[in-house]
Amino acid sequence: MFETLKEQPADKILMLMQAFKEDPREDKIDLGVGVYKDATGNTPVMRAIKAAEKQLWEVETTKAYTGLAGDPAYGDAMIALVLGDAVPRANVAAAATPGGTGAVRQAFDMIKMANPAARVFVSDPTWPNHLSILKHMQIETVMYRYFDNETRGVDFDGMMADLDQVRAGDVVLVHGCCHNPTGANLNMGQWKELVALLLKKGATPMVDIAYQGFGDGLEEDAQAVRLIAKSCPEVLIAASCSKNFGIYRERTGLLMAVSNDASRQKMNQGTLNYLNRQNFSFPPDHGARLVTMVLTDPALRADWMAELEEVRNSMLGLREQLASELQRLSGSDRFGFIAQHRGMFSRLGTTPELVEKLRADHGIYMVGDSRLNIAGLNKTTVPILAAAIIKAGI
């Protein structure tokens, strides 16, 4: 039967990661996959995670199964991190998932179970894997305008006009902070307008939050998801610990289903448990346990927050440096958006041909849609990138 299989499209981000590995040039620069790197190009294990791992090795006495939703302490700690006190804990059903991707996948599964006719509205552009999973699951997908290629900010009027087509029972997927791939984000006033529209239309929001703490701070980055959770009758939230805890390969995510009617919590929780069981049974535990330890131990938590702040500030510093270098070289403010964007990414807003030229001529790797990973830079490579951008005529 395998002869019936067709070749599947390769994931553009992962393909780029491979091409970078194979490039023999010593001065190549990787601005592709969304992985944080320090000034030496290393993706460090965070100090608090290392310390928690050491403790865990000493105190862990069993590797027996946890529960279908993972360890409840992990759910509690992550719900508090993402939602604060925006909604009562009793209104939230939650299940640990293999990474943020697992949470996204389970959320789409739950949507399909609850309303097979639901359409999912996604920003244009969005993380390519959103589109790939939706297609694989045969869920009708509608794009809404998001990025203004002129200002490199959010095309909010276009977004609202497109979302006016949303019907009751549809789902609108938003990025809670640090939009991937553009780096352009709504302000709080715009989030409020969006919430009002969703309420008017009876659509369900789904929030993908994979970069909490990478934008303006842990609390600041959670403002939008908290507003949505407390304002809308139902919301799905897919959270990832890959980036803000630096535990990419441990596959640590959480799917939350929030309902303003607490009597629904039991059914929602049962559904999340069921979906985990169908797809992989028990979620991975190691990363989740480390996250729980870090979040619940005051000293580990303080150290984690301090290191996350260092990471965030280093990306902000690189944004400032790149924007000012480009201003100096171009003699214009047209790259000022790089300092305004937040998170790991910025979309330059140039053509795939020029992105390819940067790769061929300078060994600079960014995703074809001109998304660059700011954290792939350091103080030395910023001027090299800036010069290459100007030389390529971007």
Mind telling me the catalytic residues? 127, 208, 210, 243
Closest distance of CB 252 from ligand LMR, Å:
13
Closest distance of CB 19 from ligand LMR, Å:
14
The residues, ordered by sequence, that sit 6+ positions from 21 with a Cβ below 8 Å of its Cβ are: none
User: Which of 15, 19, 33, 142: binder of ligand LMR (CB under 6 A)?
Assistant: 33
Q: Is 214 in the site for ligand LMR (CB under 6 A)?
A: no
The residues, ordered by sequence, that sit 6+ positions from 99 with a Cβ below 8 Å of its Cβ are: 240, 242, 251, 252, 253
Closest distance of CB 28 from ligand LMR, Å:
17
- Show the 3-state SS of the chain: CHHHCCCCCCCHHHHHHHHHHHCCCCCCEECCCCCCCCCCCCCCCCHHHHHHHHHHHHHCCCCCCCCCCCCHHHHHHHHHHHHCCCCCHHHEEEEEECHHHHHHHHHHHHHHHHCCCCCEEEEECCCHHHHHHHHHCCCCEEEEECECCCCCCECHHHHHHHHCCCCCCCEEEEECCCCCCCCCCCCHHHHHHHHHHHHHHCCEEEEEECCCCCCCCCCHHHHHHHHHHHHCCEEEEEEECCCCCCCHHHCCEEEEEEECCHHHHHHHHHHHHHHHHHHCCCCCCHHHHHHHHHHHCHHHHHHHHHHHHHHHHHHHHHHHHHHHHHHHHHCCCCCCHHHHCCCCEEECCCCHHHHHHHHHHHCEECECCCEEEHHHCCCCHHHHHHHHHHHHCC
Q: Is 343 in the site for ligand LMR (CB under 6 A)?
A: no
Q: Is 247 in the site for ligand LMR (CB under 6 A)?
A: no
Q: Is 34 in the site for ligand LMR (CB under 6 A)?
A: yes
Closest to ligand LMR by CB, 129 or 259:
129
Closest distance of CB 344 from ligand LMR, Å:
8
Residue 188's CB is within 10 A of a number of other CB atoms, namely 11
Q: How many residues bind ligand LMR (CB under 6 A)?
A: 6
Closest distance of CB 338 from ligand LMR, Å:
18
- The two tokens of residue 47 are 């100090």
Closest to ligand LMR by CB, 258 or 308:
308
Q: Is 329 in the site for ligand LMR (CB under 6 A)?
A: no
User: Which of 13, 48, 52, 386: binder of ligand LMR (CB under 6 A)?
Assistant: 13
Closest to ligand LMR by CB, 129 or 268:
129
Closest to ligand LMR by CB, 46 or 133:
133
The whole-angstrom separation of Cα 273 and Cα 357 is 48
Contacts (CB under 6 A) with ligand LMR, residues 99-128: 127
Closest to ligand LMR by CB, 34 or 98:
34
Closest to ligand LMR by CB, 52 or 287:
287
The whole-angstrom separation of Cα 385 and Cα 90 is 50
Closest distance of CB 245 from ligand LMR, Å:
14
Closest to ligand LMR by CB, 52 or 355:
355
User: Which of 66, 91, 180, 346: binder of ligand LMR (CB under 6 A)?
Assistant: 180
Closest distance of CB 125 from ligand LMR, Å:
11
Q: Is 176 in the site for ligand LMR (CB under 6 A)?
A: no
Positions that interact with ligand LMR (CB under 6 A): 13, 33-34, 127, 129, 180
